[in-house]
Amino acid sequence: MSNELRLGSEKRLRIFTGRGYPELAEEVAAELGVTITPTSAYDFANGEIFVRFEESVRGCDAFVIQSHCEPVNKQIMEQLIMVDALKRASAKRITVIAPFYAYARQDKKHRGREPISARLMADLFKTAGADRLMTVDLHSSQIQGFFDGPVDHLFALPLLANYVGSKVDRKRLTVVSPDSGRVRVAERWSDILGGTQIAFIHKTRDSRVPNEAITGRVVGEVEGQTCVVIDDMIDTGGTIAKAVDALYNAGAKDVIVAATHPVFSGPAAERLMNSKVSEVVVANTLPIPEENRFPNLTVLSIAPLIARAIKEVFEDGSVTSLFDGHS
């Protein structure tokens, strides 16, 4: 294996990783049959970050992988600095890969005098020198339009849905959106699973209180059903824990949770462990420290999908099939 994959005599693909979640980048690189370009990175005493690539990157097609895990702002800053270093070292094209794109929930102003931080993130990456952005399951699809350049928006849906579909009786399965905003995604789940029932939870939220969901009633028939609650992320686990309670109270026989991004902040793992959920299925877009793992947690790898997308981008192939959630 070498650090560089040559296609003809012109194109050279290189994978770079920040310090946020190098294990995922290693997995992606292994899928592609390359090694990660050696990079020195360290923090100065005051927290400032220094990055230097240990090999020439001139003319390469650079893919910079960094999932925005804790501490989120540090990972973002490190990725920005890496992009800047690549630009100044004459990389030919720079693709930012953020398997979990932080600040995606701040995609609009809910009230006056609020920021649109998801847009600011896109602007920062563009200003640093990113030509292209690749990410998985954005909180809302319109964030794609925030970045001034091509965006490869990948979907974990087939990965999660095929796993869940292989474990349950699809005839007794109801796909449940934890709020009205995700019903379209529930429909796509239902399609993949051959036309299952759909329900949603009427959730109201006080926008002045972060991470505090107030779950309302279940809309749809769940009596005696196995329910799979789908979401883009589990942060503190409040939304999911309340959804699970509501479904059992409405007569569900069994409840599974499938969410793309395991943010797992604060009480999330404890809440999920103490809930009656039978299995929590997530993708490995973020690292999950040992203390946040629990027996009925299943982690599926997103690395093959990211590797496929990188290969398509590098070879100027088609990534459309990866965009539409039907790979």
Nearer to ligand R5P, 178 or 220 (CB): 178
Q: Apex CA 110: angle with CA 105 and CA 115, to 5°?
A: 65
Nearer to ligand R5P, 41 or 72 (CB): 72
The answer to the question of residue 236 lying near ligand R5P (CB under 6 A) is: yes
From the number of C-beta atoms within 10 Å of its C-beta (0-12, 13-18, 19+), residue 290 rates as exposed
Nearer to ligand R5P, 132 or 261 (CB): 261
Neighbours of 309 (CB within 10 A): 25
Residue with tokens 């194109």: 11
Q: How far is the CB of 238 from ligand R5P (least distance, A)?
A: 4
By CB under 6 A, name the one of 61, 235, 254, 279 that touches ligand R5P.
235
Q: Which of 87, 203, 253, 276 is catalytic?
A: 203
Count residues binding ligand R5P (CB under 6 A).
14
Q: Site mask, ligand R5P, residues 189-228, x = CB under 6 A?
A: ----------------------x-x---------------
Q: How far is the CB of 139 from ligand R5P (least distance, A)?
A: 6
The answer to the question of residue 232 lying near ligand R5P (CB under 6 A) is: yes
Q: How far is the CB of 187 from ligand R5P (least distance, A)?
A: 16
Neighbours of 53 (CB within 10 A): 20
Residue 24 CA to residue 163 CA, distance in Å, equals: 20
By CB under 6 A, name the one of 15, 133, 230, 234 that touches ligand R5P.
234
List CB contacts of 209: < 8 A, sequence separation 6 or more. Answer: none
Residue 11 is among the residues annotated as catalytic for this protein:
no
By CB under 6 A, name the one of 18, 158, 238, 262 that touches ligand R5P.
238
List CB contacts of 326: < 8 A, sequence separation 6 or more. Answer: 158, 192
Mind giving me the DSSP string for 220-269? S--TT-EEEEEEEEESSSHHHHHHHHHHHHTT-SEEEEEEEEE---TTHH
By CB under 6 A, name the one of 15, 57, 230, 233 that touches ligand R5P.
233
The answer to the question of residue 231 lying near ligand R5P (CB under 6 A) is: yes
The 3-state DSSP class for residue 299 equals strand
Catalytic residue IDs? 203
* Interface ranges with ligand R5P (CB under 6 A): 105, 178, 211, 213, 231-240
